[in-house]
Amino acid sequence: MKDRLKRLFLPISLAVAVGISLVLSVSLLTNPARFSNNNHPKQKSALHNDINSRNFLEVYSPTQIIQTDRDGKQQMLTSPTTNLVGEILKNMDNYHFSKIKRISTGNQQKYLDKMNYHDSLMLNYNSSISSNIIGRILHYSGFNGKEDINRIVLPIDDNNRMYLLSDQNHTIYQVNVKSRSLAKIHRIIRHDVTKDHVEMRLRNGRPFLYFPGQVKMKDYGYLLQEQSQSLYLSRIIGNTTNATIKHHKNSTTYNSSDQGLTFSNDGNVIYNNYQTHHNVNNQEEALEAAYRNAIQLGVPLDNTKFDSYTNKDKAVNYRFFIEGFPLYGSEQLGSYSYRFINGNTERYKFSLRDFQIPVPTNRQTTILPSTRNLLRDLKNDGVDMSKVTDVKLGYQIIPDKQNNLLVTLQSTWFVKYHNKWVNYKTLSPHYQAGKENF
C-alpha cells in the first residue's frame, strides 16, 4: 500500500501542478484589468473622470425632461434643488447599450407617437446635436455616425429599449438597454420636483412644446463677478508691448500679429485667432473645439450648456440655463460663442461678467400666460404670425437699479420672430403695461 502511494505521488503532484497552472492561466486571461483600456469606452471615460470631463458631459447634456405617464399625460419636470438631467444621466452611466437600428424615418405620426410614448422620460436638447457627442456622453460608440439628435426617449416601463429622435427627418433610432435601475429613476423624479402640464405637438411638422395652462416659475437673484481684462490679455496676447492698441468710444482693441482682442465697455469680449493650427470639419469637431478652447481661455462654464449649432462658420453657442430654461439677454452676459471662419480664423464671443453667487430675491415667482393665450394675444396685437416660427419659456436679466453687480433672473416667453429670439413683451403692446426692465 505504502509502495503504491509512493509510486503514485509523483504523477499526482504533477497533475495538481498542471491543474493549478491551468486555473491561474484562465483567471489571468479573463481578468479585465489585464487588457489595455483603449478598447473599452467605459474605462476610458473613467480614466478622464476629472472635473473637465464632467463639465464636458454637463455642457453637452440635454436641457429638459418631459415625463409621459401611463395614461399619456405629459409633464415637464423641473427642480429648484436638483439637477434632474444630471441625475438621470448619472443613472444612465451604468447602462449597457446594444443593437442600435433605425426603425422609422419621414413618418410624422410615428414620430409624434414616440414623443408621447406612455410611461417614459424624454430628455430634450435645445437644438440638434451630433450623435457622436451622445455616443461620448453615454459611452456607446454605436451612436456614432447617425443623424443629429434632438431627443432621447427613455421608457420607464418594462421595455428594455431606448429611442433617439432626430427632428430633421423625423428619424427614430432604437437601441437595446441592459442594467437599468428603474427604482433609482423613480426616486429621482419624485423628490422635490415641480411638474407643469405640457403637450408635445407637431406644428408645421416641427415638434412644439405646448403649455395648456398658466405657468408659474421661480425668480432667481445673482451677484455678478467681473473678470479683469488683463487676465485675458496676459493669457491670450501675452506681452502687450508688441501689440497695437486702438481705443474707440465704446471699446478697446489689442492686436498682435496673429490675434485680436476687443473689450467693449459693457463687458463683452471678442477674440479672433487668425492662425489656427487645426481644421474644424464637422459639428463634432466644432463642439469639441468650442469646449476645449473655452476651458483654455478660462471662460466660466457653470450652469452653461450647449444651445445651438449652425453649420455655416461651424458656429457653436453656449447659454446659461436655469432649471432647464435658457437665459436670453441683450448682451453677451450668460452666453459664449465659437466660430470657425474662412477655414483659418477662430472667433470667440463671451462676457467678462458671469453669474457668480445665487442670492435671495424680493419677488418669488412670475406667472406667465398659457401658450394658447400668448399666441392669441400676439395675433390680436397685430404681430405678423407668419414670422413667428417658435415660442419658448426662458429667463430674462433684470438689472438692479442700485447695484450694477446684482441681477434678477425672471422667467418670460421668448418668441422666435424673424429667426431671432425676442422677449414677447417687446413684440406685443398687450403686455407692454407690465413691461419690466428688459
Partner 1 sequence: MNFKRIQEIFLLVFIVIDIFLFTMTKSNKIQPTNTPVGNADNTIIKEMKHDSISVGKLSNQRLDGYYLSATQDNNLESQFSKLKNQDARIDSNTVVSTFRNIIKVDENDPHKTIDHLMKKNGFVLDGKYFLYNKHLSNKNKVVYDQMVVNSTVLSSNARITFNITKDHHLSGYTQRELNNIKILHEKSELISEEHAVIRLYQYNEIPNNSKVLWTKLAYTHLLHIGGEDVYIPTWMIATESKTSHKKQIKRINAFNGASFKTEKVKIKNNSQNVESENNQ
Binding residues among 251-280 for partner 1 as defined by CB under 8 A: none
* Amino acid of residue 333: L
With vertex at residue 428, the alpha carbon angle to CA 427 and CA 431, rounded to the nearest 5 degrees, is 125
DSSP state for residue 11 in the 8-state scheme: H
Cβ-proximal residues to 382 (8 Å cutoff; 6+ apart), any chain = none
Residue 231 within binding range of partner 1, rule CB under 8 A: no
Nearest approach, Cβ of residue 356 and partner 1 (Å) = 9
Task: Give the SS3 label for residue 151.
Answer: strand
Nearest approach, Cβ of residue 76 and partner 1 (Å) = 16
Contact 304, 318 (CB under 8 A): yes
Residue 323 within binding range of partner 1, rule CB under 8 A: yes
Q: Which three cell numbers stand for residue 382?
A: 397685430
Residue 359 within binding range of partner 1, rule CB under 8 A: yes
Nearest approach, Cβ of residue 32 and partner 1 (Å) = 9
Residue 160 within binding range of partner 1, rule CB under 8 A: no
Nearest approach, Cβ of residue 405 and partner 1 (Å) = 6
Selected binder of partner 1 within 237, 295, 406, 422 (CB under 8 A): 406
* Amino acid of residue 193: V
Selected binder of partner 1 within 8, 14, 182, 231 (CB under 8 A): 14
Selected binder of partner 1 within 235, 387, 405, 432 (CB under 8 A): 405
Binding residues among 187-206 for partner 1 as defined by CB under 8 A: none
Binding residues among 34-53 for partner 1 as defined by CB under 8 A: 34, 37, 43, 46-50
Taking CA atoms, 149 is separated from 31, 68, 124, 165, 174, in Å, by 36, 20, 9, 6, 12
Beta carbon nearer to partner 1, 48 or 101:
48
Backbone angles phi, psi at 210, to 5 degrees: -110, 130
Residue 234 within binding range of partner 1, rule CB under 8 A: no
Residue 298 within binding range of partner 1, rule CB under 8 A: no
Site size toward partner 1, by CB under 8 A: 42
Residue from 176, 114, 174 nearest 146 by CA? 174
* Amino acid of residue 90: K
Strands of the sheet containing 161-166, edge to edge, are: 96-104, 171-178, 161-166, 149-155, 120-129, 64-68, 74-78, 194-203, 206-210
Contact 260, 253 (CB under 8 A): yes
Residue 103 within binding range of partner 1, rule CB under 8 A: no
Q: Which stretch binds partner 1 (CB under 8 A): 76-84, 282-290, 331-339, 377-385?
A: 76-84
Residue in the block written with cell 478622464:
48
Residue 145 within binding range of partner 1, rule CB under 8 A: no
Positions in the binding site for partner 1 (CB under 8 A): 10-11, 13-14, 17-18, 20-21, 24-25, 27-28, 31, 33-34, 37, 43, 46-50, 79-83, 220-221, 223, 323, 357-360, 362, 400, 402-406
